[in-house]
Chains A and B, each alone.
Chain A
Amino acid sequence: AQSVAQPEDQVNVAEGNPLTVKCTYSVSGNPYLFWYVQYPNRGLQFLLKYITGDNLVKGSYGFEAEFNKSQTSFHLKKPSALVSDSALYFCAVRDDTNAGKSTFGDGTTLTVKP
Chain B
Amino acid sequence: EAQVTQNPRYLITVTGKKLTVTCSQNMNHEYMSWYRQDPGLGLRQIYYSMNVEVTDKGDVPEGYKVSRKEKRNFPLILESPSPNQTSLYFCASSLVPQGGSSPLHFGNGTRLTVT
Using a CB–CB cutoff of 8 Å, the interface residues on chain A facing chain B are 4, 6, 9, 30, 32, 34, 36, 41-46, 49, 51, 90, 92, 94-96, 98-107
Contact = CB atoms under 8 A, between A and B. Distances in A.
A96 B101 CA distance: 8
In the A-B complex, list the 6 residue pairs whose CB atoms are closest, starting with the nearest. A99-B100, A43-B106, A96-B99, A46-B103, A106-B42, A104-B43
A80 to B, nearest CB: 25
A104 B45 CA distance: 9
Given A43-B107, A100-B48, A49 B101 contact: yes
Contacts of A92: 43, 104
Contacts of A106: 40-42
B4 to A, nearest CB: 7
- Interface centre among B45, B92, B104, by most chain A C-beta atoms within 10 angstroms, is B104
